């Protein structure tokens, strides 16, 4: 079993797969937008990157994004809470239940050890699938009291037993964790 870096072919494959996934996501997003002549530029300070320019593609907060870091309304509400928690508690290890997005970027810029993951049904928590850590929020591979912070966006509405997922988060959070 080989450890370490990807071969050049594997790295290209991963980059292409990521590009395809992001392009499909952007296309879905644009299909939901109003006609371009109705889009608006908005001035507002982004809590993630301090940019002051946002693009609103529909009269709907979910269709507004920071032009610099791509933060959406979920990030804009979550990041100030994370920042507030970090002023009151030491955060050295955080788990984000996603492998992309403005919240992850914020954590990676402000927390020494950030674990990112996705969920692959039918696979074991802690297993790497195509280079991505698999974690089932109802049965993670983390040790008890091992994390200072857990973040997720648009995850728990997909969890069949969300109470078990929250109980698992409680188990793996250190005292004072958020």
Domain count, the chain: 2
pTM score, two decimals?
0.77
- Mean pLDDT confidence for 100-120: 94
Give the pLDDT confidence score for residue 1 in this predicted structure.
Answer: 43
Same domain for 33 and 67: yes
Give the pLDDT confidence score for residue 127 in this predicted structure.
Answer: 95
Same domain for 113 and 69: no
Same domain for 60 and 131: no
Residue that the structure tokens 């594997």 belong to: 10
128, two tokens:
């790497």
Question: Of the residues 40, 74, 108, which one is the last residue of a structural domain?
Answer: 74
Question: Of the residues 74, 108, 124, which one is the last residue of a structural domain?
Answer: 74
- Mean pLDDT confidence for 53-63: 87
Same domain for 63 and 19: yes
Give the pLDDT confidence score for residue 118 in this predicted structure.
Answer: 94
Beta-carbon count within 10 A of 78 CB? 21
Same domain for 104 and 38: no
7 vs 172: which has the higher pLDDT = 172
Residue 4 pLDDT > 70: no
Beta-carbon count within 10 A of 3 CB? 4
Same domain for 59 and 107: no
Same domain for 131 and 101: yes
Give the Cα separation of 114 and 57 in Å (integer): 31
**Sheet containing strand 113-116, strands side by side:** 113-116, 93-96, 149-151
Residue that the structure tokens 């969920």 belong to: 119
Give the pLDDT confidence score for residue 10 in this predicted structure.
Answer: 80
Give the Cα separation of 53 and 43 in Å (integer): 5
Same domain for 167 and 95: yes
Full residue range of the structural domain in which residue 44 is found: 8-74
Question: Of the residues 39, 74, 109, which one is the last residue of a structural domain?
Answer: 74
Same domain for 83 and 51: no
User: 98: Cβ–Cβ under 8 A, 6 or more apart, which residues?
Assistant: 104, 116, 117, 118, 152, 153, 155
- Looking up residue 129, the CATH number of its domain turns out to be 3.40.50.150
> H helices of the chain, where?
8-31, 73-88, 102-110, 162-172
23: pLDDT confidence band, cut at 50, 70 and 90? confident
């Amino acid at each position: 079993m080989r450890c370490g870096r990807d071969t050049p072919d594997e790295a290209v494959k991963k980059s292409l797969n990521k590009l395809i996934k992001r392009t499909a996501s952007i296309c879905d997003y644009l299909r939901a937008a109003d006609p371009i002549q109705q889009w608006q530029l908005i001035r507002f300070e982004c809590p993630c990157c301090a940019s002051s320019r946002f693009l609103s593609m529909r009269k709907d907060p979910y269709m507004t994004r920071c032009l610099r870091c791509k933060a959406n309304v979920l990030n804009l509400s979550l990041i100030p809470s994370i920042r507030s928690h970090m002023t009151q508690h030491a955060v050295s290890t955080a788990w984000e239940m996603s492998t992309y997005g403005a919240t992850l970027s914020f954590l990676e810029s402000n927390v020494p050890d950030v674990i990112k993951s996705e969920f692959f049904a039918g696979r074991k928590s802690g297993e790497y699938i195509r280079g991505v850590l698999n974690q089932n929020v109802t049965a993670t591979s983390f040790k008890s009291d091992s994390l200072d912070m857990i973040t997720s966006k648009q995850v728990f509405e997909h969890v069949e037993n969300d109470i078990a997922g929250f109980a698992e988060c409680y188990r793996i959070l250190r005292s004072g964790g958020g």
